[in-house]
Structures are given as structure tokens and as C-alpha cells.
Structure 1
């Protein structure tokens, strides 16, 4: 799920970047930079969910 969400977000960012900038090189550059940001955000989000699940298991 983690990597599927990242790939789907990546695809959407690439389409938006191509649509806005109308320049494949600039859109590619923006997409690569956004990849690291999106991956970091999704990774933090899924880590937070895993931490919550771990707390629930330890609490029981």
C-alpha cells in the first residue's frame, strides 16, 4: 500500500507538472524533486499509522 500510494501520487504530479509547465524537461525536473517530497510525506504517514497500531497492541 505504501509504494502504491507513492506511485499513484507520482503519476498525478507528473501529469500536473506537464500540464502546467508544458515543457517536458522542466516537468521532469519538478517531478523528480516532488518524488522525494511525496515519498517522505507518505513514509511519515504510514510510519505514524504503524506506530498507532503498535501502541494499540501494547496497550491490550
Structure 2
């Protein structure tokens, strides 16, 4: 879900942190995903996004 929200797609740009956070928290409130997992994910957001970008650059380059 996180990757689908943050990566660019042919039909839209990847969402910004604030948008991702809102969507994930709405999913938590609806009991569709785990609150603790979302907290860990968002606490690590900058590192995760940086690593994702490196992987994409390696695949393209």
C-alpha cells in the first residue's frame, strides 16, 4: 500500500508525506491496517523513501 501511494504511476505522481499519512491513518481508523505498523512506517518515512529512490535509480541506470 505504501509503495502504491508513494511511487509515481502513469496516471498520477506519487503522493506527498501528508497525503500518505492521512490515507494510512484513515485505514487504521477503519481497522483495515495495524496502527503500530503505520507508526513504524511513518517514523522511518525519510529513510524508506531515500532507499526506494536508490533502488529505482539502480534499476533505470
Q: What is the TM-score when the length of structure 2 is the normalising length? A: 0.37
Structure label with greater radius of gyration: 1
Q: What is the TM-score when the length of structure 1 is the normalising length? A: 0.37
Which structure carries more helix by proportion?
1
Higher relative contact order (CA 8 A, sep 6+): 1
